[in-house]
Structure 1
């Protein structure tokens, strides 16, 4: 038992099984949401064409309790394990891959509160999640902000604390009741997370994400101008759950797996209904052509493999969550290393698999398959866009360094202007 555990009141240490989210009957859980997923799928193409944000769809998910599936059953949630959450997000991503990415910040904040519950009562936040509150995220600053620097500030004051700053890539925040804001205290320079309510005029959000894929994730700029935040909703960043970067990647793996499955499913449907054939094909009916069947079969198998990789990758993060409640620092450290490595290994393989599948599956159709009205390219565009986060180009090296030299992976990394470019840009202003 560590020193900090010894200092805790017995009442504050929640280690009973009913306090944890260890898993539930997956089929029963998924059955609750599949009719809603089907409704979302049926309207996804129209949203893509119109670039219409899924306000109604996300509201329906809130009302159905989707945001609380990881909350322990004792507090009104479903008690799902992390692998079960990822599998559920894959099913949702198969319907519309934008929506699980929109909820990425929410489930990360839920995960953080699940870990915090090991040492302090988080039942208040659990109740918010169960009632339908969603949390967005606002972490990234752009422009001349030097890497490792945080310009967004939290300022304590006698009349309340306020947040000031601007963030980009604030995915899902436009749908949220709260925003998880990475910031710095102006008085102590401590890095913190501020949970800021969006129900105030001091918070402004723009849907100005201009990527060619994942267009309806509600990503863009969040601006805070003296936005109020309660002191109890400001958390030291050093207390953030340790497998957070692995977790964020797991949600992207779910997005990739769902995109792969969706592409295979839709092309299969298009191939089945196709009446035109080529004279140099292998069958008089398109759907009976063994080469067309092979193309669709390979993409379908790739969707199966993508699901297996994503769900398997989540098992280590679930182990990290459970290790948090054992108060064994060495065991928790090893669990966190494994969580990061497993998500990285899953990313290295799944990115290639998803990009290949969402492109080559179109070989099962003729030129009509690239019709703008069908937008079958969206599966590749969405997979390509999701693959651009947490750049995979660095992950194989990190995994290789661990395999060869036993070097632990980084848990947190920064993005920003290099020191030289930041200085040059500021000098030119």
Structure 2
């Protein structure tokens, strides 16, 4: 790990070295408003899916190498920004495609089949676009949606270490006496922050209410530390964000606490994308396992087969794994459709249905990702364990990403809903 720390939008000190995978003197993020290659504006769902499939194919080519070297995907994220995919959830009245939730989930799933680290980086981006849709003022939406359509990226600074639980926030937003605010706090697991143009920060205001403050990179007092050392999802740069007296204008603060005062899809939307990443990991691993068996594996001598692909026990296991992946993909698609239905007529009932459908998809995708990435070695044989092949990145990615939001609690909520009709809670994580 590099241990590199710098304020986004500034050149890292040469004595500390450069960001892994980047050109010395370059930075992953850029200051909002600075020139950047024009981003494509995608017109609709089918175009979004076609662009995602094309990018996934290209991103897959060096995914194993990037993981092995922990080479951050700076060029790939620039390509993602230019592709227009980051703007596909912007409402049509602001110039975006406003794609269906089912389409967005499939976009993320496709990207994850190529490189799940790249797919995870914009997950928070889409979440915080959604926060603006729900609680932003007309002026905030006009400004930030234009930024998004220009290819600007949102990161995140939400989770904190050492607190009582995941929704216990110590970061505080306090008045500065001039009509604005000052932010102080430390955030961890800040996926995408190192590559961001804007970093939405979750904090408590003076009334202990949850707010989201959108902070530009390069803001004085804001530091992003590249200290992520997870065994999987290695190139997400999910490191630390430090905020020391960061000034925030009032028009960059969104009252996120209002999201949870009535029926909401914030949690369903966010969790749908996490489920898509897991489903993509499973499909990508199974595809690579099949290619390995076709081209590099030997049959077990007792099978009597000339080729590994003709071994009946191998065929049986691939059938079982394909069923698991198809089930996860089907539940993901169904969850997306239920979320879209709830978007069209949001009330307590449709919000509950959406949360339960997404919980089911997440549980299935979680299990498929871990099972398939583990079984990859079982069906491929001893040679597949060679470190030089880096096939173990699939299991490391699955095991790391599925630690998001424990599935055992999702199954509890599914069970209560099935037995008694009790709706899931409105805490935003289901």
* Alignment TM class, shorter chain as reference: 0.7 to 0.9
Offset at 1:305?
2.3
Q: Can you give the 5+ residue segments of structure 2 that lack an aligned partner in the other structure?
A: 1-41
Find the counterpart in structure 1 of residue 388 from structure 2. Answer: 373
Offset at 1:102?
1.3
- Distance in structure 1 (CA, Å) of the matches to 2:166 and 2:373: 34
SS of corresponding position for 1:261:
helix
Find the counterpart in structure 2 of residue 396 from structure 1. Answer: 411
Confirm or deny: 8 A CA contact 1:274 1:287 kept in the other structure: no
For 2:200, which of 162, 175, 180 is the aligned residue?
A: 180
> Do structure 1's residue 210 and structure 2's residue 229 form an aligned pair?
yes
Q: Can you give the 5+ residue segments of structure 1 that lack an aligned partner in the other structure?
A: 1-22, 324-330, 415-429
Confirm or deny: 8 A CA contact 2:44 2:97 kept in the other structure: no
> Do structure 1's residue 62 and structure 2's residue 81 form an aligned pair?
yes
> Do structure 1's residue 89 and structure 2's residue 104 form an aligned pair?
no
For 1:314, which of 318, 331, 336 is the aligned residue?
A: 336
1:158-203 deviations in whole A, cap 9, x for unaligned? 44422111111111111111112111123x3332111111222421
For 2:56, which of 37, 42, 45 is the aligned residue?
A: 37
Cα RMSD (Å) of the superposition? 2.4
Find the counterpart in structure 1 of residue 185 from structure 2. Answer: 165
For 2:364, which of 349, 365, 369 is the aligned residue?
A: 349
Aligned runs of 1:176-325 on 2, under 5 Å?
176-186=196-206, 188-240=207-259, 242-274=264-296, 276-323=298-345
- Distance in structure 1 (CA, Å) of the matches to 2:265 and 2:165: 25
SS of corresponding position for 2:120:
helix
C-alpha change, 1:238 and 1:117, in structure 2 (3 Å) is closer
1:317-338 deviations in whole A, cap 9, x for unaligned? 2233333xxxxxxx52222211
Offset at 1:48?
0.8
Confirm or deny: 8 A CA contact 1:153 1:183 kept in the other structure: yes
C-alpha change, 1:144 and 1:340, in structure 2 (3 Å) is closer
Confirm or deny: 8 A CA contact 2:297 2:380 kept in the other structure: no
SS of corresponding position for 2:234:
coil
1:341-370 deviations in whole A, cap 9, x for unaligned? 111122223322222222223332120011
C-alpha change, 1:36 and 1:349, in structure 2 (3 Å) is closer
- Distance in structure 1 (CA, Å) of the matches to 2:154 and 2:237: 13
- Distance in structure 2 (CA, Å) of the matches to 1:116 and 1:237: 7
C-alpha change, 1:283 and 1:67, in structure 2 (3 Å) is same
Aligned runs of 1:379-418 on 2, under 5 Å?
379-412=394-427
Offset at 1:220?
1.8
Confirm or deny: 8 A CA contact 2:331 2:360 kept in the other structure: no
Structure 1 length normalisation: TM-score? 0.83
Find the counterpart in structure 2 of residue 12 from structure 1. Answer: none
C-alpha change, 1:147 and 1:36, in structure 2 (3 Å) is closer
Offset at 1:275?
6.0
Confirm or deny: 8 A CA contact 2:268 2:428 kept in the other structure: no
Offset at 1:121?
7.0
Structure 1 window deviating more from structure 2 (202-211 vs 41-50): it is: 202-211
SS of corresponding position for 1:303:
helix
C-alpha change, 1:148 and 1:96, in structure 2 (3 Å) is closer
